[in-house]
Amino acid sequence: MAAALALLQINAQRTGSVSPIATVTSSIFGFAQTAASATIGGARSLATTVVSLPGVESENGRLRARNRRLIEENARLHELAAAYAAETDVRPVVNLYHGVEARVIGFPPENESRAVTIDKGTRSGVRRDDGVIAADGVVGRVVAVTPFSSTVLLATDYTSRIPAVVQRGRWWGIARGNLGSVIVEYIPQDAPLRVGDVVVTGEGRSFRSGVPIGTVTAIERGDATLYQTAVLKTSVDLGALDRVVVVSK
Amino acid sequence: MSSFRSKPHVAPFVGPAWYVAAAWLAAALLAQSTVVHYIAIRGVVPSLVLVAVIWYAIRVDARRAVLYGLTAGLCEDALSAHSGAAWTIATSLSAVLASALSRGFFADSIPLVIVITVVTTLVRALLYWVVAALGGYPPGLGLMHLHEAVLASALNAVGMVVVMLLGRRVERVR
């Protein structure tokens, strides 16, 4: 038996093939080796973990702190970028109209009127009835001034009235605040208004002509009326005001 | 044997000290004119100022209530665009109303305070718009103002409940 097995091995060696004995043995041991290697590997990892746990913990703490710092820095940079963008947005308007740049700092307590408080007052040259604009167009007009702050009545307030011109045909009207939007009243019935027409300010008490107020989104024509009314989407997002420019006439 | 029994001594409810009330009012005004705007629902904001006024008015007599309401209203008018004295008048009278409504009841009963808050908010809005109309505010938005007032009264009631629950918790911690 031993001789036979030995002969099988010798034959396999000479022919360069794998003997059946080697095949069976390797197969059986293969599984065992796999299991043993996995166990040993796990044990080594565990040992390594146990040994390096304090180091890992402190490294984890360092990384967390660094992550927190980076998040804070990221937020700060985002804020700076937003502030820079807001400032550069209104810079051309300041230069164009020689206006006073201001920031929105407050709102009417009860929101009963559409108005904002800005951080510039008489000390900065702001006067009552000055026009207030943003990078994209009309914001409103100054209705109350104190030395260090002013109240601006937004174009959407129900009591706001601004002389308006439909840019395409020079048709005049009065832009009145309608709380959420602005409507232009008293446009002649024969004016062929179209949705998308741009409405700008006419020469008036607070504004020079040509400052965008908004774009026509709807037109109301009555059969028995002398005038038609246009509903505008304001050029400026009046719900997200940050920096504005006060312009004197 | 005398059956006389002395009346149990019930300490009259004393409102908060004036400086505490003033601090609350200042905080409410500051929040109202800066932060609350961002949580407007359909253009309506809860009035922390009115919540503070009612909170104080239901704990004190009418004289103190009207003084507090007057101060709050004056500040609101000062911070508003062109409300004239509408908030001053409306808030002062609302404070008197809240003080009168709470007389004879527990100032710490949440259902009662909710009712007082709702009624006071509606009356205050009515007074405000009446005064504003007398001052030249253009007519034509009555229904919208009514809807706003109803929503505001609900928001204020929620605000008042939150304030009272927080107050109770603080008391318990003490």
Render pLDDT for B150-159 as a digit per residue (tens, 0 to 9): 999 999 999 9
Nearest CA in chain B to A239: B38
Interface membership of A143 toward B (CB under 8 Å): yes
The overall average pLDDT reported for chain B is: 82
What confidence category does residue B50 fall into, taking pLDDT thresholds of 50, 70 and 90?
Answer: very high
pLDDT tens-place string over residues B76-135? 888 886 777 888 888 999 998 888 887 777 667 888 889 889 999 999 989 888 888 887
Residue numbers in B near A179 (CB within 8 A): 43, 144
Query: Which residues of chain A register pLDDT less than 50?
Result: none
Question: What integer pLDDT is reported at residue B2 of this predicted model?
Answer: 46
Phi/psi of residue A51, nearest 5 degrees: -65, -40
Question: DSSP letters along A136-169, please?
Answer: TEEEEEEEEE-SS-EEEEETTSTT-EEEEEETTT
Question: DSSP letters along B14-73, please?
Answer: -PPPHHHHHHHHHHHHHHHHHTGGGG-BTTB---HHHHHHHHHHTTS-HHHHHHHHHHHH
Does B9 have pLDDT greater than 80? no
Does B3 have pLDDT greater than 60? no
Residues of A113-130 as b/e, b for ≥16 C-beta within 10 angstroms? bbbbbbebbeebebeeeb
**Which amino acid belongs to residue A176?**
R
In a 3-state reduction of DSSP, which class is residue B144?
Answer: helix
Burial class (CB in 10 A: 0-12, 13-18, 19+), A82: exposed
Question: What integer pLDDT is reported at residue B4 of this predicted model?
Answer: 47
Q: Are the C-beta atoms of residues A190 and A221 closer than 8 Å to each other? A: no
Q: How far apart are CA A36 and CA A20, in angstroms?
A: 24
Question: What integer pLDDT is reported at residue B87 of this predicted model?
Answer: 86
pLDDT tens-place string over residues A166-175? 888 888 999 9
Chain A segment 205-234 residues within 8 A of B by beta carbon are none
B79, B138, B144 ranked by CB distance to A109: nearest = B79
Residues 6+ apart with CB under 8 A from A197: A166, A167, A168, A215, A216, A230
- DSSP at B118: H
What confidence category does residue B11 fall into, taking pLDDT thresholds of 50, 70 and 90?
Answer: very low
- DSSP at A240: G
Quote the crossing angle between the two packed helices B48-57 and B86-102, to the nearest 10°.
Answer: 40
Q: Is the pTM of this model over 0.90?
A: no
Q: What is the CA radius of gyration of chain B?
A: 18
Residues 6+ apart with CB under 8 A from A75: none
